[in-house]
Amino acid sequence: VTTPYYDEDGITIYHGNCFDVLHELSDLGAVITDPPYSSGGQFRGDRVRSTVAKYVQTGTIVARQEFSGDNRDARSYLAWCSLWLAAAHKAAQTGAFCALFTDWRQLPVTTDAMQAGGWVWRGIGVWDKTEAARPQARLCAQSEYIVWGTNGPNDLAAYLPGVVRCPSPRGDDKLHIAQKPVDLLGWLVSACKEGETVLDPFMGVGTTLVAAKLLGRRAIGIEIEERYCEMAAKRLAQSVLRFEPTRAPAPEQIEMPRDDEAAS
């Protein structure tokens, strides 16, 4: 059995390959994660470049570190995601929530992988990264996507927005090249049942765990690179205040358009 790298206040970190740890876990209430996208380019050859070269805006000067597992082609990305999603599915309770980050290039393969792993695919959330996102001629690549589903029934009466708008972390707040904002993960953690454990098998510097801690939830993170486990543990050890992310109104509180007013 893997010994935790960090274990405080209901938050546990394992340093290792998630395939070695997943089979030791059970009873998960949710899997929320941002796996290496194996993306970052228009062409096959672009995928195998270093993560720093792929994911830093042209002309930006940074001293950030590489991360692992980001150079599979589309077919092997599908196979690899299906395998870890199946292992996570086995460790999850009936009704558990699963949410995976992806970008526009890997969106089709990610929805296939979720279903191949045994989850019921139920929709796509949108992270609007604002106009501060990576510029691109014609339409700015301003969004990333959250492919979500459940292990069987979708039995939680939580009504959350389908789109969240917040910029990527910048400057000293950014410890990992692919780090997500805490508010964004707070939105997804709010879609899990209270009292249940959230797993992030590709935790990076632990943003999912920080959001879970802020919301008073239990969480487990797994990360293959020790330097990121160390950074995550430091973030978690800092004192935190609880926060309430935005909730959408329940359907009965929404005034629906009449049929003749509804847009087609």
Scan residues 31-90 and list those touching ligand SAM (CB under 6 A): 34-36, 67-69
Residue 153 one-letter amino acid? P
Three-class SS of 229-251: HHHHHHHHHCCCCCCCCCCCCCH
Q: CA-CA distance, 4 to 22, in Å (whole number)?
A: 13
Does 224 help bind ligand SAM (rule: CB under 6 A)? yes
- 52 or 120, CB closer to ligand SAM? 52
Looking only at the bridges linking them, the beta strands covering 6-8 and 11-15 are antiparallel
Select the residue interacting with ligand SAM from 85, 114, 222, 233 (CB under 6 A). 222
Contact segment (CB under 6 A) with ligand SAM among 130-138, 152-160, 218-226, 236-244 equals 218-226
Shortest gap between Cβ of 200 and ligand SAM (angstroms)? 7
Q: Which range binds ligand SAM by CB under 6 A, 52-60, 86-94, 198-206, 236-244?
A: 198-206
Binding of ligand SAM at residue 2 (CB under 6 A)?
Answer: no
* Binding status of residue 221 toward ligand SAM by CB under 6 A: no
d(CA 106, CA 54): 15
> Could you give the string, one character per residue 161-180, with x where binding to ligand SAM holds by CB under 6 A and - elsewhere?
---------------x-xxx
Task: Provide the β-strand partners of residue 30.
Answer: 97, 198
- Per CB under 6 A, the list member of 113, 149, 228, 229 interacting with ligand SAM is 228
Displacement of CA 103 from its chain's centroid (Å):
11
Residue 205 interacting with ligand SAM (CB under 6 A)? yes
Asked whether the CA dihedral 230, 178, 23, 156 is positive or negative, the reply is positive
Number of Cβ atoms within 10 Å of the Cβ of 247? 12
Cβ atoms 32, 202 nearer than 8 A: no
CB 162 within 8 A of CB 126: yes
CB 198 to ligand SAM: min, Å: 13
Closest approach, Cβ 142 to ligand SAM, in A, equals: 18
Q: Hey, which residues between 84 and 143 contact ligand SAM (CB under 6 A)? A: none
Total binding residues toward ligand SAM, as defined by CB under 6 A: 22
Q: What is 200-236 written as a DSSP string?
A: ETT-TTTHHHHHHHHTT-EEEEEES-HHHHHHHHHHH
Considering only the stretches 41-49, 56-64, 133-141, 204-212, report the one whose residues sit in contact with ligand SAM under the rule CB under 6 A: 204-212
- Residues in the site for ligand SAM, rule: CB under 6 A? 17-18, 34-36, 67-69, 176, 178-180, 201-202, 204-205, 207, 222-225, 228
